[in-house]
Structure 1
Amino acid sequence: MGILNLTPDSFSDGGKFNDEQLALKHTEKLLNDGAELIDIGPQSTRPSAEFLSSEEEIRRIGNLIFQIKKEFPEALISLDTFYSQTVKFGFNEGIDLINDISGGQFDSAMFDTAAETQLPYILMHVNPSYEAMHDKIKFEDITLEVNRYFSEKTNELLQKGVKDILLDPGFGFGKTVADQMKMIDEVRYLEFGRFPLLIGISRKSFIYKPLGKSPLDINEETQKLHLKVLKQGTKILRVHDVAAAKKTLEIYRNENY
Structure 2
Amino acid sequence: MLSDSQTPQPVNAQPYSINCNGRLVQLDTPKIMGILNLTPDSFSDGGRFNTEKSALEQAGKLLSEGAEIIDIGPQSTRPNAEFLSSQEEIKRIGNIISQIKKEFPEALVSLDTFYAETVKFGFSEGIDMINDISGGQYDEKMFDTAAETKLPYILMHVNPSYETMHDKIRFEDITLEVNRYFSEKINTLLEKGVNDIILDPGFGFGKTVEDQMKMIDEVEYLGFRKSPLLIGISRKSFIYKPLGKSPLDINEETQKLHMKVLEQGAKILRVHDVAEARETLMQFLQKK
Q: TM-score, normalised by structure 1?
A: 0.99
Tell me the distance in 2 between the aligned counterparts of 1:25 and 1:117. 28
SS in 2 for 1:238: strand
Q: 1:232 matched to which residue of 2? A: 264
Q: Looking at secondary structure, tell me which structure has more helix per residue.
A: 1
1:44 pairs with 2:76 = yes
Q: Report the alpha carbon displacement of residue 231 of structure 1 after superposing the two structures with TM.
A: 0.2
Higher relative contact order (CA 8 A, sep 6+): 2
1:56 pairs with 2:85 = no
Q: 1:206 matched to which residue of 2? A: 238
Question: Residues 146-200 of structure 1, C-alpha deviation per residue, up to 9 Å, x if partnerless?
Answer: 0000000000000000010000000000000000000000000012101000000
Tell me the distance in 1 between the aligned counterparts of 2:157 and 2:199. 8
Q: 1:104 matched to which residue of 2? A: 136
- Amino acid aligned to 1:69: K
Which of 201, 206, 218 is 1:169 aligned to? 201
Q: 1:85 matched to which residue of 2? A: 117
Q: 2:39 matched to which residue of 1? A: 7
Tell me the distance in 1 between the aligned counterparts of 2:98 and 2:211. 40
SS in 2 for 1:27: helix
Question: Residues 74-97 of structure 1, C-alpha deviation per residue, up to 9 Å, x if partnerless?
Answer: 010000000000000000000000
Tell me the distance in 2 between the aligned counterparts of 1:253 and 1:99. 26
SS in 2 for 1:68: helix
Unaligned runs of 5+ in 2: 1-32
What's the % identity of the aligned pairs? 80
Q: 1:22 matched to which residue of 2? A: 54
Tell me the distance in 2 between the aligned counterparts of 1:186 and 1:220. 21
SS in 1 for 2:206: coil
Tell me the distance in 2 between the aligned counterparts of 1:169 and 1:104. 15
1:75 pairs with 2:107 = yes
Is the 8 Å Cα contact of residues 71 and 112 (structure 2) preserved in structure 1?
Answer: yes
SS in 2 for 1:78: strand
- Amino acid aligned to 2:127: I
- Amino acid aligned to 1:49: A
SS in 1 for 2:45: coil
Q: 2:183 matched to which residue of 1? A: 151
Unaligned runs of 5+ in 1: none
- Amino acid aligned to 1:121: Y
Tell me the distance in 2 between the aligned counterparts of 1:111 and 1:246. 32
Q: 1:126 matched to which residue of 2? A: 158
Question: Residues 197-229 of structure 1, C-alpha deviation per residue, up to 9 Å, x if partnerless?
Answer: 000000000000000000000000000000000
Which of 167, 173, 183 is 1:141 aligned to? 173
Q: 2:222 matched to which residue of 1? A: 190
What is the number of equivalent residue pairs in this alignment? Answer: 256
Tell me the distance in 1 between the aligned counterparts of 2:235 and 2:223. 25
Structure 1 runs, 4 residues or longer, greater than 4 Å off? none
Tell me the distance in 2 between the aligned counterparts of 1:7 and 1:71. 21
Tell me the distance in 2 between the aligned counterparts of 1:68 and 1:35. 14
Which of 130, 148, 158 is 1:116 aligned to? 148
